[in-house]
Amino acid sequence: FSFQQGGWGASLADRLVRKCDVLNRGFSGYNTRWAKIILPRLIRKGNSLDIPVAVTIFFGANDSALKDENPKQHIPLEEYAANLKSMVQYLKSVDIPENRVILITPTPLCETAWEEQCIIQGCKLNRLNSVVGEYANACLQVAQDCGTDVLDLWTLMQDSQDFSSYLSDGLHLSPKGNEFLFSHLWPLIEKKVSSLPLLLPYWRDVAEAKPELSLLGDGDH
């Protein structure tokens, strides 16, 4: 949902207009086991112009589902950490170093709101916030081990007295939650994109008599 109106991905794309393209490669319901398999299809080794300036890896909400209640999405904690490491290592193999990667922990879970959704779907509560916290801690450890940046949403959101307003249904981000994520992610992204030139000149700077002089150069003159 990150490219919906007000979504954090859409906010990134808006902030980075004419600097770089923001590609959404999030897949609803996926876990790290599946993501590790498809990552080479999503990001391949290319020429230097195609190398991403930043990559976010945002998993854990599905991996941390309870095995007894949701075995399809559940991934054991140790495998979750290994899968994150594997993805960081794969990115490194296609010329995306650790300093371009940002891991994002899962958000906290509002159990009362999510239980209502589970009941509507005819099942029991299939996640617990304490368990999600274990996966968030594992994500932090992987970031430390691999030397990547990390955004600890699980902790940051619970610094608020009532974090439920950041979630639309106890699990997924609300408009306020998307805004929260973007506001904390942007400083990490900004460090990686600050040196990028503006693509093509501002319209007032285009040479009037011979626009080709302005428009057929390398894009930043």
Q: How confident is the model at residue 148 (pLDDT cuts 50, 70, 90)?
A: very high
pLDDT tens figures, 193-221: 998 988 888 899 999 999 998 898 654 44
Residue 160's pLDDT is 77
Percent of the chain with pLDDT over 70: 98
Sign of CA dihedral 182, 172, 154, 33: negative
pLDDT tens figures, 88-108: 999 999 999 999 999 999 999
Paired tokens of 168: 């639309």
pLDDT tens figures, 104-127: 999 999 999 999 999 999 999 999
- What domains can be seen in the chain, in order of their start residue? 8-216 (3.40.50.1110)
How many CA atoms, within 13 angstroms, populate the side-chain half-sphere of residue 65? 24
Residue 85's pLDDT is 98
CA-based nearest residue to 34, from 62, 8, 69, 1: 62
Residue 161's pLDDT is 75
* Mean pLDDT estimate for the chain: 94
Distance CA 74, CA 200 (A): 46
Phi-psi region of 60 (alpha: psi -120 to 50; beta: other; left: phi over 0): left
Distance CA 24, CA 32 (A): 16
